[in-house]
Amino acid sequence: MNLNDILQAAQGGQGITNIAQQFGLSPEQAQAAINAVLPGLSQGLQNQAATPGGLGNILGHLADPTHQQTYTNAAAAASPAAAQAGGNVLGQILGNGGIVQQLTQHAAQSTGLPPAIIQQMMPVIASMVMGGLFHSASNQGLGGMLGQLAGQGNLGAALGQAMGQAPAQASTGGSGLGGMLGGLLGGLFGGGQAGATKLPGGLDPATVQAGLSTLTNMLGHGVQVPAGQQAGLQDILGQLMAAGAKR
C-alpha cells in the first residue's frame, strides 16, 4: 500500500474521477496532476515522520475528521474546509511557500495544466492523502491507537526527549524509517528504564511501534515519473530532503 494506492481507493474508488469533475478535468488529466505532485508530498511526509515533532504533527493531522471526510465524500472534498485543512498539511510537510510554488510549476509544466488549477488541487489531494492514511490504518485495526496517540499534545516533546535515551542509530536513520521508529520508541517506552515515559491509555509499546511502522511504510508515492520530468522533480525533492535533514 502506498499513497497512490490510497488515492485510487478514495471515495469508493471514484476519488480521481470526482477530483477531475471538481476541477473541470478529464480523469486522465487529474491522474497526471496527482502523479506530478505525489512524489513531493511523499518526501515531505517522510521528512516529517523522521523527526519526533514531525511524527506528532502527522498524527495530529490524521485525527482531523475533515481529512477523513475528504477521503470518503466527494462533497466534503469540494468544501472550503477541505481546502483549508489540506493547505495546513502542505504548509506542515512542504515548509516554505517556495517549495510549494516549485512543485506547482513542475506539475503544470509536466501536465500542461494551468498552474492555478494545480494550486487549487494540491490542498484537496493533501487532505485526501491524510484521510486515506487514517482510513487504511483503521482497516488494519490501528485507527483507535493512532487517534489515542494523536490526542497526546506532548507526544512530539516526549519523542524528542527519547532521542537522548534511544540507540545512536535512531538519530542517524539506522536501517531506515522503521529502524528510527524502533529506536525512538524503544528508548522512550521500552526496557523498564528508570524515568521512561509511560504510554497513554495503557497502550502496548510493541503495538505502537508496529502501528507507526505500518503507517510510515505507506508513505511511498507509488507513481511512475517520466524520464523527461525526473531532473526537475529531483531538484525539488533534493531541496525537501535537505530541509528535512536540518530539522
* 50-64, 103-117, 159-173: the lowest-pLDDT one: 159-173
Per-residue pLDDT of 148-204, as tens digits, reads 666 555 555 444 444 333 433 333 333 344 444 554 455 444 444 444 455 555 666
| Together in a domain, 174 and 101 | no
Q: How many of the other CB atoms lie within 10 Å of CB of 46?
A: 19
Pair (173, 131) in one structural domain? no
Residues 168 and 51 in one domain: no
Nearest to 187 by CA among 210, 209, 207: 209
90 and 119 fall within a common domain: yes
Residues 83 and 113 in one domain: yes
Q: Say if pTM beats, i.e. exceeds, 0.95.
A: no
What residues have CB less than 8 Å from 182, skipping those under 6 apart?
Answer: 170, 174, 209, 213
- Helix 52-62 crosses helix 143-150 at what angle (to 10 degrees)? 120
Q: Percent of the chain scored above 90 by pLDDT?
A: 42
Q: pLDDT at residue 126 above 50? A: yes
Domain count within the chain? 2
- Supply 229's cell numbers: 520530468
Q: What is the pLDDT of residue 118?
A: 97
pLDDT computed for residue 4 by the predictor: 95
Ordered alpha helix ranges (H), 112-168? 115-139, 143-150, 155-162
Q: Each residue of 22-37: pLDDT tens digit?
A: 999 999 999 999 999 9
Under the banding of pLDDT at 50, 70 and 90, the label for residue 89 is very high
Same domain, 92 and 196: no
C-alpha cell at 44: 515531505
Q: Are residues 44 and 164 in the same domain?
A: no
Domain span at residue 169 reads: 154-210
